Amino acid sequence: MSTTACPGCVAQTDRVAQIDRGLSGEIRAYHFSLPTLHCAGCIATVERGMAAMPGVRDARVNLTLKRLTLNAPDRVEVEAQVLDQLARLGYPADALDAGTLGRATGDATGRALLLRLGISGFAAMNVMLLSVAVWSGAEGATRDFLHWVSALIALPAALYCAQPFFSNAWAALKVGRMVMDTPISVAILLALGVSLYETTQSGAHAYFDAALSLTFFLLLGRVLDHHSRAAARSAAAELAALEVSKVERVTDDGIQVVAAPELRTGDRVLVRAGERMPADGTLREGATEIDRSFLTGETIPLPATAGTAVHAGEINLTGLIEIEVTAAGEDTQLHLIAEMVRAAEAAKNSYVSLADKAARVYAPVVHLVALIAGGAWFAATGDLRLSVNVATATLIITCPCALGLAVPSVMVSASGALFRRGVLLKDGTALERAARIDTVVLDKTGTLTTGKPQLVGEVDERALAVAGAMGAGSAHPLAQALASAAAGLPKVPLTGLREISGYGLEAKQDGVRVRLGRAAWIGAAETNETATWLKVGDGDPVPFYFADTPRPGLQTMVDRLKSNGLDLILLSGDSKGPVRRLADQYGIAQARSGMTPQEKQDHVNELVAEGRHVLMIGDGMNDTAALAAASVSISPASGMDVTRNAADILLMREELNAVPEILHIAQSARLRMFENFGLAASYNAVAIPIAVAGFATPLAAALAMSASSICVSLNALRVRLAGTQ
Amino acid sequence: MNVLLLLIPISLILGGAGLVAFVFALRHGQFDDPEGNAARILEDREPE
């Protein structure tokens, strides 16, 4: 029975619930990515703007992830309405697929690490307090009592909190390898064991506080490490969530909207002007022009009519077409190339990170030193208890605290500095590799340029006014470029404007037929340049030439890279004219045009074989193999998913001036890592003799451990200064 | 010596209270958006 007493209230509630459902349907969560969010004002503007929308509830901005989450009725138009509202508020946004995102957002590992950090911090502080009493001279029964209380806190806390180290060390031990976690685990377990034994024997020295603070500092390093990786991972998950696209499938019952992965061979799909082909197929109905620049780097659109083969990823420029799917999902050419790239990457020699290199040297040395110290003391005194104590003290005092923090603390500083510049570090070792670059290989279309054409050269104003007026009615990129170029010119009255898909535009001006479009259709000679032609009545065809718009910051990037003494090489799949023009304009000495994906990859391989450290920057399918072959690779986030997968570093913004800054921060980060290793090593050089000589007390261990960890962390923060120059 | 029997439990209870508060905050997602929380305190209007 319901606990609500009044039947009227029950009825009322039900009715409200019914109306609510009737109006809105099922409520579900929507996620949006807002890359330009940056301050308290942004949060307030967005959340208030969302609250003003009917049906939208619980809008909440996450500034760290630059994401908006809200609950709204599950309806097709909601997403578009929210995006419109966000655009009005001044925030460009993308809708994220909840399903794809959901799998990646539950950061359980991060929370578990934080919990362990909290518990070890609590336990370390309490045990440290008790230890202070022992160090200041507690004796006899009091000391034993304090040790026993410490043991009660330390044993369960350390055994629980240090589990990540134990499991890593165990996993490595099973395959016969030494990792940084091996000496850590041995030190913690040995410290606990020896201290417990000493406590039962009323001994003077117990290392419970050392075992716990070791755990605490190392967990701090782990948490920082996880944090910087998680930021990259969640952004990568966002990019994946952007990918899932809906397609319109033509069936006997009409048009169904389905997700692209659901397509099967033989399906017929509608592709509207401006959309990407969702699968490989054959054009069945309609005529259009296709932009293949993502696959080949060519900037000139290709005409397509019934029977033309199209490939996933190509953009349909002008007309509504219907294609019959010949290969979908994992069978598309796009996916096959991606698989080849993955295979090439797996075969590539894996880079050994600085931290791993350090661990390989460090782990055996520490164990050996502790063993020798214990053995020597046993030989000299015959006292097993004393020699085990010395060995334990040696292991603890050479604690890899500073070493464990050396790399993660620098990585956090560096990836934070990069993230603020819109740069996403996908692979932690990429920074170390980027610090040694001497050659930069560049792609043109989509990388140095935005892929959007711009009118170039001298044109007749009267012709431009006509062409602009015609172009305003079309979504074709060349027509759009003409319309924006003619924006300041007087309006030309046109009648009967229509688009002839795959050919161009036709209209009447004062009763005279005007055509704007492909050379063959107009009756002009074909050229190698990106061009379109205008013909008024029976007059001569007027050409308009186009070039790609360079990305902002291109000149700055080229100048700064050259002044750093790096060799720049432009490799493009585009034709000679546009490539030469761009290279000359921006002062890139080496440029090659008409490169196939294979030639690009071979060229990069040759450079690597010469012993060069190559940075490849590219965005297209045709660059992917070359990206995988290079020492480090950068890709604009606007590229295709296969390219983003192959690249180590992603540029989230359009500007290119981030590239020299990445290299600068990378060099600074590498330097700080070396300094940190140096700090840790010099600290050990002082501490080891003291420990081996048997002078190390728990107090000395505690002081040394904290001091070295703090030094290393502070040094890592200097990477941020490098970024602000 | 006897005072220790009183002081040690007190320090443990106080520390434990801090730990419980930390675990509560962690469970309720208060560490999910550190940058946003830092910015939100600058907002002077009451949330609607």
The full 3-state SS of A468-532, as one line of letters, equals HHHHCCCCCHHHHHHHHHCCCCCCCCCEEEEEECCCEEEEEECCEEEEEECHHHHCCCCCCCEEE
Chain B residues whose beta carbon lies within 8 Å of the beta carbon of residue A51: 48
**H or E segment to which residue A231 belongs:** helix A208-243
Distance from C-alpha of A539 to C-alpha of A536, rounded to nearest angstrom:
6
Bridge partners, A657 (sequence order): none
Encoded tokens for A133: 């009493």
Q: Work out the pLDDT band at A415, boundaries 50, 70, 90.
A: confident
* pLDDT for A349 beyond 60: no
Closest Cα in chain A to B15: A122
Q: Considering only the beta carbons, identify the residue of B26, B39, B48 that sits closest to A39.
A: B39
A126:B15 CB<8 A: yes
Q: Do B1 and A141 touch (CB under 8 A)?
A: yes
CB contact under 8 Å between B48 and A111, yes or no, is: no
User: What is d(CA A231, CA B43) in angstroms, rounded to the nearest whole number?
Assistant: 25
Q: Which residue has the tokens 């075992």?
A: A211
Scanning every residue of chain A, which has its alpha carbon at the shortest distance from the alpha carbon of B29? Answer: A111
Residues of B in contact with A128 (CB under 8 A): none
Distance of alpha carbon A424 from alpha carbon A523, whole angstroms: 49
Place of tokens 């490490």: A225
Lowest-confidence pick of A102-111, A161-170, A209-218, A356-365: A102-111
Q: DSSP letter string over A244-268?
A: --EEEEEETTEEEEEEGGG--TT-E
Contact A62, A31 (CB under 8 A): no
Q: What is the sign of the dihedral through the CA atoms of A602, A605, A611 and A614?
A: positive
Whether the predicted pLDDT of A253 surpasses 90: no
Query: What is the per-residue pLDDT for A123?
Result: 93
Residues in chain B within 8 Å Cβ distance of A126:
11-12, 15
Pairing of strands A542-550, A530-536: antiparallel
Question: Which amino acid, one-letter code, is at A261?
Answer: P
**Whole-number Å distance between alpha carbons of A46 and A32:** 12
Query: Which tokens belong to A389?
Result: 């104590």
- Give which of A107, A116, A92, A113 is closest to A231, Cα–Cα: A107
Q: How far is B9 from chain A (nearest CA, A)?
A: 10
Query: What confidence score (pLDDT) does residue A347 get?
Result: 52
Q: Which two three-digit tokens encode residue A597?
A: 């994906």
Q: Where are the beta strands (DSSP E) in A520-593?
A: 530-536, 542-550, 567-571, 590-592
Residues of B in contact with A63 (CB under 8 A): 33, 35-36, 39
> Of B1, B18, B32, which is closest to A122 when you measure between CB atoms?
B18
Active-site residue set of A: 443
Helix (H, G, I), strand (E, B) or coil at A304: strand
How far is A407 from A225, CA to CA, in rounded Å?
Answer: 9
From residue A490, how far is each of A340, A364, A544, A546, A670 by CA, in Å?
53, 80, 19, 22, 58
Contact: A64, B34; criterion CB under 8 Å: yes
Query: What residues are paired with A651 via a beta bridge?
Result: A423, A636
Whether B34 and chain A come into contact, CB under 8 Å, resolves to: yes
Residues 69-128 of chain A whose Cβ lies under 8 A from any Cβ of chain B: 107, 111, 114-115, 118-119, 122, 125-126
CA A370 to chain CA mean position, Å: 42
Q: Which of A23-27, A311-315, A430-434, A568-572 has the highest mean pLDDT?
A: A568-572
Q: Identify residue A60 by its one-letter amino acid code.
A: R
pLDDT tier at B7, thresholds 50, 70, 90: confident
**Could you give phi then psi for residue A583, rounded to 5 degrees?**
-60, -45
Tokens of A235: 């952004």
Find which of B40, B44, B45 to mutate to test the A interface (most A CBs within 10 Å of its CB).
Answer: B40
pLDDT of residue A441: 93
A46-to-A38, A160, A324, A563, B46 alpha-carbon distances in Å: 11, 42, 43, 42, 15
Task: Tally Cβ neighbours within 10 Å of residue A517.
Answer: 25
DSSP A331: G
- What is the rounded CA–CA span in Å between residue A13 and residue B29? 32
Q: What does the pLDDT look like over A467-516, one tens digit per residue?
A: 888 887 776 778 878 888 887 788 778 888 887 777 788 888 888 888 88
Residue A17 has pLDDT above 80, yes or no: no
Tell me the pLDDT tens digit for each residue of A650-693: 887 778 888 999 999 999 999 998 998 888 888 888 888 888 88
Q: Is A459 left (phi over 0), alpha (psi -120 to 50) or beta?
A: beta
**Would the ipTM clear 0.90, i.e. be above it?**
no
How far apart are alpha carbons A618 and A237 in whole angstroms?
21
Q: What is the pTM of this model?
A: 0.71
Write down the residue that tokens 């419980």 correspond to: B20
**Interface with chain A: mutation pick from B2, B7, B8, B13, highest number of A CBs within 10 Å:** B8
Query: What is the CA angle A156-A161-A164, rounded to 5?
Result: 135
| pLDDT (average), residues B7-32 | 88
**Chain A partners of B28 at a C-beta cutoff of 8 Å?**
none
Q: Does A52 touch chain B (CB under 8 A)?
A: no
CB contact under 8 A, B23 and A118: yes
Q: Does B8 touch chain A (CB under 8 A)?
A: yes
Q: pLDDT tens across A285-337, in order?
A: 888 888 777 666 666 677 888 888 888 878 787 778 888 888 877 777 767 66
Q: In what order do the strands lie in the sheet with A67-73?
A: A57-62, A67-73, A27-33, A94-96
Residues whose CB falls within 8 Å of the CB of residue A584, separated by 6 or more in sequence, listed in order: none
Q: What is the mean pLDDT of residues A227-248?
A: 64
Interface test with A, best of B2, B5, B11, B12 (most A CBs within 10 A): B12
- Which residue from A64, A118, A126 is facing B35, i.e. has the nearest CB? A64
pLDDT of residue A11: 42
Percent with pLDDT over 70 in chain A: 86
Cβ A126–B12 below 8 Å, yes or no? yes
